[in-house]
Amino acid sequence: MVITFVGFVGGWLNQTLGVDTAFVSAFIAACIATFFTFLPSFIFIFMGAPFIETTHGNLKLTAPLTAIITAVVGVIINLALFFAYHVFWPTGLSHAVDWASITLTTAAIIAIFRYNVGVIPVILMSGILGMAWKLFV
């Protein structure tokens, strides 16, 4: 998202298609920045996936991949805890807890794991409820 935003701002400030084409230039720049940011990842996935599939029986290659997967899971958990800390205690541990955020997070977790609601509807409803909470309270 940051890359897309930076591309959008760059296109907005440098109107390459002429005067009064700020939005069109910004939109095209954002699309180009996003496309060329994620293109290498897809190339590596499509070219590397068949090779990785052939290594399932080889312990010399599957052990490092298992370690890499474990490290990635650890990074994701660390990032989740980092965000939880900054959302639940926005002014630090010595200040009050944001109970609205904890309630919304608990409701989202229950919706996803207990009632099997899709992630996208939960994200949309959480965003709407969070904006309404900040707007009206």
Q: Is the pTM of this model over 0.85?
A: no
Look at residue 62 in the predicted model and tell me its pLDDT.
82
62 within 8 A of 55, measured Cβ to Cβ: yes
**What domain range includes position 25?**
1-54
For residue 96, is it within any domain? no
- If one counts the domains in the chain, the total is 1
Look at residue 104 in the predicted model and tell me its pLDDT.
95
| In the predicted structure, residue 107 carries a pLDDT above the cut 90 | yes
Q: Computed from CA positions of residues 90, 96, 100, 103, in that sequence, does the dihedral angle turn out positive or negative?
A: positive
For residue 42, is it within any domain? yes
For residue range 29-82, list pLDDT tens digits in order. 999 999 999 898 888 888 888 887 887 778 888 888 889 999 999 999 999 999
Residues of the chain with pLDDT > 90: what percent?
A: 64
For residue 67, is it within any domain? no
For residue 47, is it within any domain? yes
Closest CA to 1 of 55, 42, 37, 40: 37
For residue 4, is it within any domain? yes
Residues of the chain with pLDDT > 70: what percent?
A: 100
Average per-residue pLDDT for the chain: 91
Look at residue 76 in the predicted model and tell me its pLDDT.
97
Q: Residues with Cβ < 8 Å from 98, sequence gap 6 or more?
A: 87, 88, 89, 90
For residue 39, is it within any domain? yes
For residue 137, is it within any domain? no
Q: Which range, 11-25, 37-51, 61-75, 112-126, is most confident?
A: 112-126
